[in-house]
């Protein structure tokens, strides 16, 4: 069985093709890079509308399959930016109708976790999902993926990107700050905001920008932001693992590519006798392959959707999904 998945919740539109063994046959994408400022939902949607058909063709080429061989069409149903979600859903419906194949809408956050289970040895991990818009600690319990902790304000990636932007660095800021942090050495005082299982980052952003105004170097600030923010994330992840008696931690989302975050979570895992899993970078960021793979499993788990049920949901919660496939 072959599934084609289309991702488009935010600035990335991606198309992936996977088989029933979670072999990724194609995973192509294109990302909006705003010239200045943040992303505008409608501009991103226009970008996705132009890019999606060529990407579908490209994915078929890369996979070496004819679109007629696709058995299932999956798409990101939410959460995300309304105009982007609607654009991608429209493309998915058109493709499913023209190929006469079933269609399934996939929860984006669940897909980050499922692709990690699919391509690593992790079986029932606690997922630390760290991206631009999302920061959540998720695990499977009683038939659903439950959110054990999350950000109370902005996502970790948004915080990194905003800080970088205010410092005149291009988007996305996360990877640039990771490099700059290697030249930083002074640990500056930043708020450590952990509230139970939740975290908050906007206070750190404000404090870092204030320090920058008073002359602190970008390198030292990048270093300090990473040390403090990643320590917060490691703490809540460890607490979830302890409560759940779970010995696997999986990283997902674009920020999971950060080597320092991997080092800190990895050290915590070793200290507890647990194991950390990190999918390849192209499967950490928003991508079509994770949507295809999750859609395929949902289909195998008996999920069927009418066209009317493919309506998008900007605030689609992780724990709204009944997990029938495991």
| Contact present, 139 and 126 (Cβ < 8 Å) | yes
Q: Which is nearer to Fe ion, 184 or 253 (CB)?
A: 253
Nearest to 6 by CA among 300, 316, 292: 292
DSSP character for 272? H
Among 11-19, 128-136, 287-295, 308-316, the segment contacting Fe ion (CB under 5 A): 128-136
Q: Does residue number 12 form part of the binding site for ligand ATP (CB under 6 A)?
A: yes
Nearer to ligand ATP, 70 or 158 (CB): 158
Q: Residue 260 CB, nearest distance to ligand ATP (Å)?
A: 8
**One residue of 76, 131, 135, 234 binding Fe ion per CB under 5 A:** 131
Residues 51, 95, 128, 161: which binds ligand ATP (CB under 6 A)? 161
Rounded CA-CA distance 11/45 in Å is 8
CB of 51 to ligand ATP, least distance (A): 15
Please report, as residue ranges, which positions from 265 to 284 form the binding site for Fe ion (by CB under 5 A).
none
Given 7, 161, 248, 286, the residue binding Fe ion (CB under 5 A): 286
- Please give the C-alpha separations between residue 94 and each of 44, 52, 54, 88, 308, in angstroms, as whole numbers: 20, 12, 14, 10, 13
Question: Could you tell me which residues come within 8 angstroms of residue 168 by beta carbon, excluding any fewer than 6 positions away?
Answer: none
192 token code pair: 């450590």
Among 27, 87, 120, 131, binds ligand ATP (CB under 6 A): 131
How is residue 308 annotated by DSSP? G
H or E element at residue 45: helix 41-63
* Only segment of 125-133, 193-201, 203-211, 225-233 that touches Fe ion (CB under 5 A): 125-133
d(CA 3, CA 296): 6
Residue 114 near ligand ATP by CB under 6 A: no
21 Cβ contact partners less than 8 Å away, ≥ 6 residues apart: none
Interaction between residue 70 and ligand ATP (CB under 6 A): no
Residues forming contacts to Fe ion in the complex (CB under 5 A) are 131, 286
């Amino acid at each position: 069985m072959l599934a084609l998945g289309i991702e488009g919740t935010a600035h990335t539109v991606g198309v992936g093709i996977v088989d029933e063994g979670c072999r990724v046959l194609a995973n192509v994408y294109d990302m909006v890079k705003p010239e200045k400022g943040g992303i505008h939902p409608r501009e991103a949607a226009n970008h996705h509308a132009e890019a999606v058909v060529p990407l579908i063709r490209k994915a078929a080429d890369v996979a070496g399959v004819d679109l007629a061989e696709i058995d299932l069409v999956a798409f990101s149903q939410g959460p995300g930016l309304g105009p982007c979600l609607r654009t991608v859903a429209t493309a998915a419906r058109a493709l499913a109708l023209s190929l006469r194949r079933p269609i399934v809408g996939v929860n984006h956050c669940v897909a980050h976790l499922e692709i990690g289970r699919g391509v690593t040895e992790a079986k029932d991990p606690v997922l630390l999902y760290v991206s631009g818009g999302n920061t959540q600690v998720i695990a499977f319990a009683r038939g659903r993926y439950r959110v054990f902790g999350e950000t109370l304000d902005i996502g970790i990636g948004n915080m990194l990107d905003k800080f970088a932007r205010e410092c005149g660095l291009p988007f996305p800021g996360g990877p640039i700050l990771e490099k700059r942090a290697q030249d930083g050495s002074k640990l500056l005082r930043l708020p450590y905001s952990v509230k139970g299982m939740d975290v908050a980052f906007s206070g750190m952003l404000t404090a870092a920008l204030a320090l920058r105004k008073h002359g602190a170097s970008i390198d030292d600030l990048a270093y300090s932001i990473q040390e403090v923010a990643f320590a917060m994330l490691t703490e809540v992840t460890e607490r979830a693992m302890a409560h759940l008696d779970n010995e696997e931690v999986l990283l997902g989302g674009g920020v999971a590519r950060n080597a320092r975050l991997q080092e800190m979570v990895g050290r915590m895992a070793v200290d507890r006798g647990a194991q950390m899993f990190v999918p390849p970078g192209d499967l950490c960021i928003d991508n079509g392959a994770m949507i295809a793979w999750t859609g395929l499993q949902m289909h195998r788990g008996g999920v069927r959707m009418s066209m009317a049920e493919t309506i998008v949901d900007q605030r689609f919660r992780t724990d709204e999904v009944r997990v029938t496939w495991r």
